[in-house]
Amino acid sequence: MLDAKVAKLLNEQINKELYSAYLYLDFSIYYEAEGLDGFANWYMVQAQEERDHAMLMLQYLQNNGAKVSLEAVAKPDKTLASLMDPLKMGLEHEQYVTSLIHNIYDAAYSVKDFRTMQFLDWFVKEQCEEEKTADDMIKKMELFGGDSKGLYSLDSEFAARVYTAPSLVL
């Protein structure tokens, strides 16, 4: 049986991951409206990834006899005024999610819940990758996004991203 605090934090994280999916879906819609189908694709794939993170946590709770409690998912409230806004907001959001994962890990560590710590190891690594990718996207946009040919090239690069479901064994 999972510690009550750890289970509560994992349940809250399910909601945060679903919010992340909503946020990235909102970014995708923004870029689609701006005519940047590649950027839209990149964030659509990101939304799918975040949804799967929530589902992994949900399954983990179920597999460990914990009650799953779903709450309403907040509507994204970010104002997107420039092509750079979603990229910067994405990095900021990933840094926030990293702090949430670390908080759950710390709670699991404090009660010697090694199973949950092992489960969260994948998410810790994933967050490192997410932050680096978000930072790299900002750097590329700063370098190439101001030029129409460069922006076209970036859009083409982001259009090539395909969804790959996580292969985490619960």
Set out the domains of the chain in order of their start, with CATH numbers: 4-159 (1.20.1260.10)
Tokens 């970014």, residue located? 27
pLDDT tens-digit readout, 55-74: 999 999 999 999 999 999 99
DSSP 37: H
* Cα–Cα distance for residue pair 21/63, rounded to 1 Å: 23
| pLDDT, tens only, 13-39 | 999 999 999 999 999 999 999 999 999
Mean pLDDT of the residues in the chain: 96
Is residue 170 predicted with pLDDT exceeding 90? Answer: no
* pLDDT score at 78: 87
The Cα–Cα gap between 49 and 35 comes to: 23
Residue-level pLDDT at 169: 59
- Spatial distance between the Cα atoms of 1 and 60, rounded to a whole number of angstroms: 12
Q: Are the beta carbons of 56 and 109 closer than 8 angstroms?
A: no
pTM score of the predicted model: 0.94
Mean pLDDT of 159-167: 87
CB atoms within 10 A of CB 8: 16
Q: Is-contact 85 36, C-beta < 8 A? A: no
Q: Which amino acid is at 109?
A: Y
